[in-house]
């Protein structure tokens, strides 16, 4: 009960700006720290193992992220009803949703791990990769597949820890995960010079240890949420899936687009083009998780206040989210415009063709951040107040509909046309996001708010 009171004090009583600094900044720092494991992994592979290994990693990563997206579907999808029910004072119902979600995450991780372990070599052969790149990508993906049921839980338990009001714990555990992954990567790749499979093993071990660290206080009953016997009710599974669908579709669509992009880039530019695209995705893999931390760390607070009928606080919290997202995106834009070649050189040390080819691609990609904040923040806003349809429209537009459209339109231009895809899709999606934001502002300004069931 004291934990529930702590959550209520944080989410309901704390002034919005102070809440932002207490919840969002630690969340952003934690997400930034947790995302650096992939960044350091790509840097070590690119600099220590060569271009074929780097290309293999970038071919395999979209499929690995699909496996994690299934866990994220449940983790994010369960966070919304859990937060709303806690805001309504229905703690036991929240515990049942939490317990069901943990079981579903494990099952999804197990199924996806088995599938990708078996299918890996056939997938990369079908994409047209050379035999050497197929071997590199297969060995890399199979290690992640083995650890998928356990490693994928670390992302969901980060959400549940923040819902329990333990924002600083979430931040420190994410930093711990980054340190663990980096340490294993340093030992396996730099000191021992082991092959690419050990890059995947390093990150998987780090995530496994992190999952155990996250789960320990829940198992001891020290958090707001407690384990109960899971009840597999179809209605609740539908609620979880519908709320997690925007994030899942965004992740899934983005991964499908990456797979299509890699196949197209292999056709027009070979391993070099795939490596340049991998650099762009690595940059995005640093900026987007930070923005995710800024906005989604506030999601429990928004859901809690929405469930409690406090629209005034919902509006104030979201203003903080948008302001922070704008600031981050402008910073990313400035850094990429000033240091395009320096950014590329972080990932590959002596591949002059990749560095020179990435120069223009990074400059074009930088313009994506001038408007990306609008799309991401509005998607998060929609999901936080239980408007999954709006969030889905934005996520699918950004991650699938417009990217596929522009792949078709820009393919005749060649490599640089394909690498301009993300920026073009972002600006097109901004139109959809702006229309939805106007609708959301009308909803949260409505004086008559029915509490969510």
User: How many Å apart are CA 307 and CA 437, to the nearest integer?
Assistant: 20
pLDDT > 60? residue 385: yes
Short-list 388, 400, 393, CA closest to 434: 393
Quick one: DSSP state of residue 309? T
pLDDT at position 11 is: 73
pLDDT at position 450 is 42
Whether pLDDT at 24 is above 90: no
Quote the radius of gyration of the chain (alpha carbons, Å).
Answer: 21
Burial of 452 (0-12, 13-18, 19+ CB in 10 A): middle
pLDDT of residue 9: 65
Separation between Cα atoms, residue 302 and residue 87, nearest integer Å: 10
pLDDT of residue 452 exceeding 50, the answer is: no
SS3 130: coil
CA distance linking residue 450 with residue 452, whole number of Å:
6
Average pLDDT, stretch 248-252?
Answer: 76
User: Which pLDDT score, from 0 to 100, does residue 2 have?
Assistant: 47
Assess contact for 26 and 167: CB atoms under 8 A.
yes
Q: Which two tokens stand for residue 94?
A: 């929240």
Classified as helix, coil or strand, 115 is helix
pLDDT tens digits for range 285-334: 889 888 887 777 777 778 778 877 788 888 888 888 899 899 999 999 99
pLDDT over threshold 70, residue 446: no
Give the residue extent of every domain in the chain.
Answer: 2-445
Span 66-106, pLDDT tens digits? 888 888 889 888 988 888 888 788 889 889 999 999 999 99
Helix (H, G, I), strand (E, B) or coil at 286: helix
Residue 410 has pLDDT above 90, yes or no: yes
In the predicted model, what is the mean pLDDT of the chain?
A: 87
Tens of pLDDT, residue by residue over 194-211, are 999 999 999 999 999 999
The string of DSSP codes covering 144-180 is: HHHHHHHHTHHHHHHHHHHHTT-HHHHHHHHHHHHHH
At 8, the pLDDT band (50, 70, 90 cuts) reads low
- Determine the angle formed by the axes of helices 51-87 and 91-126, rounding to 10 degrees: 160
Structure confidence at residue 426 as a pLDDT band (50, 70, 90): very high
Strands (DSSP E) contained in 255-312 are none
140 burial via Cβ count (<10 Å: 0-12, 13-18, 19+): buried
pTM of the model: 0.75
Residue 448 predicted with pLDDT over 50: no
Whether the pLDDT of residue 449 is over 50: the answer is no
pLDDT of residue 262: 92
CA nearest neighbour of 101 among 239, 212, 8: 239
User: Do the Cβ atoms of 146 and 204 come closer than 8 Å?
Assistant: yes
pLDDT grade for 110, boundaries at 50, 70 and 90: very high
In the chain, % of residues over pLDDT 70: 95
Residue 91 CB coordination number (10 Å): 18
**What percent of the chain lies above the pLDDT cut of 90?**
46
**pLDDT value at 57 more than 70:** yes
- CB atoms under 10 Å from CB of 379, counted, come to 26
Tell me, what's the pLDDT at 316?
86
Q: In terms of Cα–Cα distance, which of 38, 68, 40, 30 is closest to 293?
A: 30
Given a cut of 90, whether residue 389 has pLDDT beyond it is no
Residue 453: per-residue pLDDT:
34
Distance CA(295)–CA(369), nearest Å, equals 16
Mean pLDDT of 37-54: 88
Is pLDDT larger for residue 187 or for residue 314?
Answer: 187
Burial group, residue 338, by CB count within 10 angstroms (0-12, 13-18, 19+): exposed
Is the model's pLDDT at 6 over the cut of 60?
no
At residue 428, the 3 state secondary structure works out as helix
């Amino acid at each position: 009960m004291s934990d529930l009171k702590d959550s209520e004090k944080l989410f309901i009583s704390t002034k919005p700006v102070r809440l932002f600094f207490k919840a969002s900044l630690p969340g952003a720092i934690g997400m930034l720290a947790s995302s650096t494991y992939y960044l350091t992994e790509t840097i070590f592979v690119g600099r220590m193992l060569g271009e074929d290994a780097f290309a293999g990693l970038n071919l395999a990563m979209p499929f690995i992220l699909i496996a994690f997206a299934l866990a994220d579907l449940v983790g994010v999808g369960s966070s919304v009803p859990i937060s709303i029910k806690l805001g309504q004072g229905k703690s036991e119902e929240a515990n049942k949703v939490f317990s069901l979600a943990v079981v579903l995450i494990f099952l999804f991780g197990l199924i996806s791990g088995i599938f990708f372990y078996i299918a890996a070599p056939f997938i990369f052969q079908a994409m047209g990769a050379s035999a050497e790149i197929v071997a590199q990508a297969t060995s890399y993906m199979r290690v992640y597949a083995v650890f998928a049921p356990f490693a994928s839980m670390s992302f969901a338990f980060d959400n549940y820890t923040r819902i329990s009001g333990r924002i600083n714990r979430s931040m420190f555990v994410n930093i711990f995960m980054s340190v663990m992954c980096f340490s294993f990567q340093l030992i396996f790749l730099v000191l021992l010079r082991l092959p690419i499979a050990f890059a995947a093993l390093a990150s998987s071990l780090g995530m496994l240890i992190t999952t155990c660290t996250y789960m320990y206080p829940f198992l001891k009953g020290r958090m707001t949420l407690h384990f109960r016997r899971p009840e597999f009710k179809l209605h609740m599974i539908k609620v979880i899936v519908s709320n997690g669908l925007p994030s899942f579709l965004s992740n899934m669509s983005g991964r499908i687009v990456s797979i299509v992009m890699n196949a197209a880039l292999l056709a027009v530019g070979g391993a070099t083009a795939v490596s340049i695209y991998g650099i762009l995705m690595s940059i995005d893999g640093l900026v987007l998780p930070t923005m995710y931390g800024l906005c989604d760390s506030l999601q429990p607070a928004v859901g809690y206040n929405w469930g409690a009928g406090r629209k005034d606080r919902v509006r104030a919290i979201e203003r903080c989210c948008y302001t922070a997202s704008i600031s981050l995106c402008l910073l990313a834009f400035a850094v990429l415009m000033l240091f395009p070649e320096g950014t590329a050189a972080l990932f590959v040390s002596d591949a002059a063709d990749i560095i020179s080819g990435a120069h223009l691609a990074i400059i074009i990609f930088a313009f994506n951040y001038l408007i990306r904040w609008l799309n991401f923040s509005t998607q998060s806003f929609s999901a936080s107040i239980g408007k999954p349809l709006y969030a889905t429209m934005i996520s699918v537009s950004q991650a699938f509909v417009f990217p596929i459209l522009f792949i078709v339109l820009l393919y005749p231009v060649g490599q640089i046309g394909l690498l301009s895809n993300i920026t073009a899709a972002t600006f097109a999606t901004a139109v959809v996001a702006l229309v939805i934001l106007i609708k959301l502002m009308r909803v949260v300004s409505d004086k008559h708010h029915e509490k969510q069931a």
